[in-house]
Structure 1
Amino acid sequence: MRKLLPVIQFAHLLAASKLQSGGNAIDATAGNGNDTLFLINHLSKNSKLYIFDIQEDAIRQTKQRLHEHLTQADFNKLNQRLFFYCAGHQDMDMYVKEQVKVIMFNLGYLPGSQSKIITKPYTTLNALKKGLKLLLPNGLVSIILYPGHDGGQEEADLVTDYVSRLNTYEFGVIQYNNINKEKAPYLIAIEKKR
């Protein structure tokens, strides 16, 4: 019998299914590079990946993770299609000028760093709104929320409230969470219908 998937693995499963047919992607919160590496492994031959984080340490750690998991030749091939921005995800539309198939958010703070530097409710909400405009029809936005840290519940509530009011003719929205564990991280996935 197969176990239930943790939220991050379920987000990856959904994103992988969308990227099978190709398309560009955005990692809106690079962190330690886990989602970036996942997205690279699922990009089609000519697709681009845009990577954002407000912290230089996160961009550096993400690049380090790629160097650890990719050969130099593979990294050099990908380098023309990877775009790193030390910028807030709320500014993604300033850098990304084409539509994308997948956008991944993994909110909260950079693991192993000061937990005082966190994603903020209103910049996350602005990033989500801009991301939905950049998203292709049949594209996916995944958002992993962490209500258990300081500021996390406010961000989770704001995002959840916003997505619960999206037009059902334009977007499908699901929530995947552990309901018998208080303050557990959870996933919201949004599919653009048209």
Structure 2
Amino acid sequence: MIASSYKELNRSIEWHILPVNRCISMVSEGRLDADIGRHTIVTEIYPNLVSVPVPLYTMEIDLISRKRLNTPLPAAEKFLIDDDRRVAYPEFILYIRNMLSPERSIAAKSAEQMVSLLKKGRVDFILLPSIETRRLQETDKSFSELHIVRQGYVKFQGYHILHQRHERLAVQLEETFRRNIGNLQD
């Protein structure tokens, strides 16, 4: 959808596969033009970025622990900032990082690292993208020892992010994205 939108605007794309944090940093510095999909919070952290205001996807993050919880679960924004909870999260998701207490959270490089931290008792909870939860349920028998406290506990949308020098392009892409997403839904 992104490629066809750029093509409609007579723009070419050169794709690069990079670590997520490096990619957004390079877009911020102007060494790359865009990042495929991020939460708009990156435009607050990196003020020289703009987003195309059309959500491209919804990311769902599951809350997982070693044991079942017997109490009702408050909203993520309240629950995750509690200083009594140690939480591991994917380092590449800035939206999550900004929700957590930095003293009590660990940024992990992979789902496997988060699971290991949880099983060893270094954290009380992990925040795992739902797609990773499903993958581990299918491939890691020991994952069944853990408890999915809530599927989709945190949800956020991802947007196409551009360097601010492409602000006019962002306006053009908004119209093209909306039309192309509408065509996908038909």
Task: Return the TM-score normalized by structure 2.
Answer: 0.31
Task: Return the TM-score normalized by structure 1.
Answer: 0.30
Greater relative contact order (Cα 8 A, min sep 6): structure 1 or 2? 2
